[in-house]
Amino acid sequence: MSASSTPGPSNQDPTMLNLEVLLNLLQQQMVQHQDLMTAIQAQQQDQQTLMNMVQMQLQNAMPAPAPAPAVVTTSHPTVKFPNPMAFTGKPSGVCSYIAEIESCFTLYLNQFNTNYAKTMYFGTWLKNETVMKWFMGVTCTDATLLSDFTHLKEAIEKHFGDVDYVETTHCKL
């Protein structure tokens, strides 16, 4: 056999070489895409598992339903106060958010007479996805936080609060 009859890189059509290279690149990208899709599906399953665990924790931590209170009619109109501002995760908003939530506890003493009721109300006004996930994660990890508003408040201040509150206040002045 002569050297010219054996197929080799120098004897192949350049267009065919380019097509082979493109096909190899496409196959590599398909494999990477499949790997990414598998990772995303695993992540979604982990999130669903976490959500199920949080729901189970919340259901297990809920107190037994109290008997329905007697309906009392009065001639006085019910006073309605504005809802607190939602917390979005900004360090500058932690103190004002907590102050507004605690004001609601003072204004509605009968509704927020347990720590559990306070922590659940506290969690309903967390509107940033990151903050909500933090709340679900920390209360799932330490279920006692659901029945201890003071420690939950300390945890959010520690995690989302301003690192140097004094310096920030000085700069504002």
In a domain, 70, yes or no: no
| Pairwise CA distance, residues 165 & 95, whole Å | 10
**Residue whose token pair is 């329905």:** 68
In a domain, 84, yes or no: no
Nearest one of 132, 115, 124, 130 to 83, comparing CA atoms: 124
Q: Is pLDDT above 80 for 157?
A: yes
**pLDDT tens digits, one per residue of 60-80:** 766 666 666 665 555 555 667
In a domain, 69, yes or no: no
Domain count across the chain = 2
* Residue 25: domain span: 13-60
| Pairwise CA distance, residues 70 & 75, whole Å | 16
- Between residues 1 and 154, the one the model is more confident about: 154
**pLDDT tens digits, one per residue of 99-120:** 888 988 888 888 888 989 998 8
Same domain, 97 and 157: yes
In a domain, 72, yes or no: no
